[in-house]
Structures are given as structure tokens and as C-alpha cells.
């Protein structure tokens, strides 16, 4: 490792705590053995959603995770990290962090596979992706207003109505975790006459029976990128990462 740039690839699933610790161990060891630079390529960067203390006594785990990484890696490359209350990675990371986006890959997928599409962002945070993808392929987009009462209870309503009757609706979100957000959006799209509903997630955590929950709500198909390995993977992000890493030479 002496004098080399070392790249650690980590997607933090299915055991984020273990993965974080393994990353720190590996990075520190690489440096100990003389590595010139340690880059963490994390297609999915876990803990970013916990960006405040939602309930008394909770850890703000994004900050703690960032502290650990700030001390052990020299650079982070990630894909569509969850930036909600943090407006930029600089608010948490001292080391340089490069955000890539799967938007173009998702747009290509929709253009090739889903005719007569309308893109929906299930909440305001996800609308940035929905809007960019819709613009890229020249279709309509809309956003739902989501209210989250708890991690397992969300409701949503359409505030910017578009015609969904007979359309192939594509709901796009950065993370699909319990599937509640997508399920609520799907119910609205079904009620508005959608012909089919495809849910596309950059990061498919898909926990707590998310797939069957979304199916029951009317979702026809779930597609994720391989930021996290899962049977729903249909969009390959390896080229994105490889291209970025090529710049390090
Ligand atoms: C939240 O802000 C994210 O963008 C996702 O909408 C959320 O993480 C999805 O979680 P779930 O699938 O549990 O509703």
C-alpha cells in the first residue's frame, strides 16, 4: 500500500454499524501501512437521514459517523446522499466529499422502458430528482406534500395536480426504506387513474416488508440502483463511480 491511493468501497448494508467500523479499521490500517490517500467510495452513505434529534435522547448519528470518517479517510465519493436539513456535505464533513447523482441513469431507464410516463416526487426533498429526470426526457412531473407522523406513518396529498389518467406513473425517491412514502404516493396515483406505477429508488433499503406493502398500495414494479445490492436492482451505477475514480489517477 506504500505510496498508493487506496479506495474502499462500502454500501453499509445490511449491517451499517459493522460496515462503519470496518471502514475505519481498513482506512486506519491502510494509512498505517503507508497509503498516500484513502478514498471512501460509498454509493450509499448510511446515517445521513438522522440529521437531528427527532426524539429526546437520540444520537445525531450522521454527525458521529462524519466525525469518525473525517478522522480516518481523506475523501468521500457518494451517490445522491440524503441532504435534507444539511444543505451541503460541508456542514458535516471536513474532508472533501463528492456527490454524484444517478439522475441521468434513471432518466435513461425511464426513457427506454416506460412510455407515456409522468414522474412524481413523493415529497419536496425528492422533487429535485423527479423534476430533473422529467426535464431530461421531456415529460410532466409533480410533487406530493408528505406529512410524516412517525417512521412508520406518513400521509401525502397532491398539491400540484397533473393528469395521471391512463399514464404510466414513475415515483422517484432517493431512499426506499419501509416503503410507506412510496405506498402513500402510489395510492394517490391509483386513485387518479394511473395505468401502471413504477417506483424507482436510488437506495433500496427495503425493510419491514416494503415490497409487499408497496404492491398492496398498487405499485406495479420496484426498480433500484445497485448502490445497495438487492433483487430489485435494474440500474447500474458502477460506471458513475469508476468515471469519478479515474480522475484520481
Ligand atoms: C425522506 O426524506 C426520504 O427521501 C425518503 O422519502 C424516505 O427515507 C423513505 O422512507 P420510507 O420508505 O420508510 O417511507
Q: If you measure from the C-alpha of residue 175 to the centroid of ligand 1, how many angstroms do you get, rounded to a whole number?
A: 5
- The reply to whether 86 and 183 lie within a common domain is no
Number of structural domains, the chain? 2
CA dihedral angle for residue 122, residue 202, residue 117, residue 231, rounded to 10 degrees: -110
Would the pTM of this model clear 0.75, i.e. be above it? yes
- The reply to whether 116 and 87 lie within a common domain is no
pLDDT the model gives residue 149 = 77
- The reply to whether 126 and 224 lie within a common domain is yes
- The reply to whether 189 and 215 lie within a common domain is yes
- Ligand 1 pocket at CB < 6 A: 49, 84, 123, 125-126, 154, 173-181
Q: What is the CATH number of the domain that holds 91?
A: 3.40.50.2020
- The reply to whether 26 and 107 lie within a common domain is no
Residue 246 lies in a domain: no
Residue 208 lies in a domain: yes
Pocket-testing residue among 130, 151, 175, ligand 1, by greatest number of atoms within 8 A of Cβ: 175
Q: Ligand 1: which residue has its CA nearest to atom 10?
A: 177
pLDDT the model gives residue 23 = 98
The DSSP element (H or E) to which 197 belongs, if any, is strand 196-204
CA-only gyration radius of the chain, Å: 19
Domain range enclosing 69:
5-100
Q: If you measure from the C-alpha of residue 114 to the centroid of ligand 1, how many angstroms do you get, rounded to a whole number?
A: 23
Per-residue pLDDT of the chain in tens (249 residues, 90 and over written 9): 999 999 999 999 999 999 999 999 999 999 999 999 999 999 999 999 999 999 999 999 999 999 999 999 999 999 999 998 999 999 999 999 999 999 999 999 999 999 999 999 999 888 889 999 999 999 999 999 888 877 778 787 877 779 999 999 999 999 999 999 999 999 999 999 999 999 999 999 999 999 999 999 999 999 999 999 999 999 999 999 999 999 987
Spatial contact of 5 and 36, defined as CB atoms under 8 Å apart: yes
Residue 248 lies in a domain: no
Q: If you measure from the C-alpha of residue 99 to the centroid of ligand 1, how many angstroms do you get, rounded to a whole number?
A: 19
Name the residues annotated as catalytic.
146
- The reply to whether 160 and 127 lie within a common domain is yes
Q: Which three cell numbers stand for residue 192?
A: 387518479
Contacts (Cβ under 8 Å, ≥6 apart) of 179: 206, 208, 209, 210, 211, 213, 214
Residue 31 lies in a domain: yes
- The reply to whether 125 and 18 lie within a common domain is no
Residue 241 lies in a domain: no
Residue 146 lies in a domain: yes
Which DSSP state fits 49? Answer: T
Q: How many CA atoms lie within 13 A of 75 on its CB side?
A: 15
Amino acid at each position: 500500500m506504500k505510496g498508493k491511493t487506496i479506495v474502499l468501497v462500502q454500501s453499509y448494508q445490511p449491517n451499517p454499524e459493522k460496515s462503519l467500523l470496518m471502514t475505519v479499521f481498513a482506512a486506519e490500517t491502510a494509512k498505517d501501512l503507508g497509503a498516500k490517500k484513502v478514498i471512501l467510495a460509498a454509493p450509499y452513505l448510511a446515517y445521513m437521514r438522522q440529521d437531528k434529534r427527532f426524539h429526546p435522547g437520540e444520537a445525531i448519528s450522521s454527525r458521529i459517523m462524519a466525525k469518525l470518517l473525517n478522522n480516518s479517510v481523506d475523501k468521500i465519493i457518494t451517490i445522491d446522499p440524503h441532504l435534507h436539513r444539511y444543505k451541503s456535505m460541508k456542514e458535516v464533513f471536513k474532508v472533501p466529499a463528492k456527490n454524484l447523482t444517478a439522475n441521468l441513469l434513471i432518466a435513461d431507464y425511464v426513457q427506454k422502458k416506460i412510455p407515456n410516463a409522468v414522474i412524481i416526487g413523493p415529497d419536496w426533498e425528492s422533487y429535485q430528482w423527479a423534476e430533473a429526470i422529467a426535464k431530461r426526457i421531456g415529460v410532466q412531473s409533480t410533487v406530493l406534500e408528505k406529512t410524516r407522523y412517525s417512521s412508520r406513518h406518513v400521509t401525502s396529498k397532491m398539491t400540484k395536480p397533473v393528469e395521471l389518467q391512463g399514464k404510466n406513473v414513475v415515483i422517484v425517491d432517493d431512499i426506499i426504506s419501509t416503503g410507506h412514502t412510496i405506498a402513500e404516493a402510489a395510492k394517490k396515483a391509483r386513485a387518479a387513474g394511473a395505468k401502471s406505477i413504477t417506483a424507482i429508488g436510488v437506495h433500496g433499503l427495503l425493510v419491514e416488508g416494503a415490497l409487499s406493502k408497496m404492491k398492496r398500495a398498487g405499485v406495479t414494479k420496484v426498480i433500484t440502483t445497485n448502490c445497495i445490492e438487492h433483487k430489485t436492482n435494474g440500474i447500474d451505477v458502477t460506471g458513475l463511480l469508476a468515471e469519478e475514480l479515474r480522475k484520481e489517477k
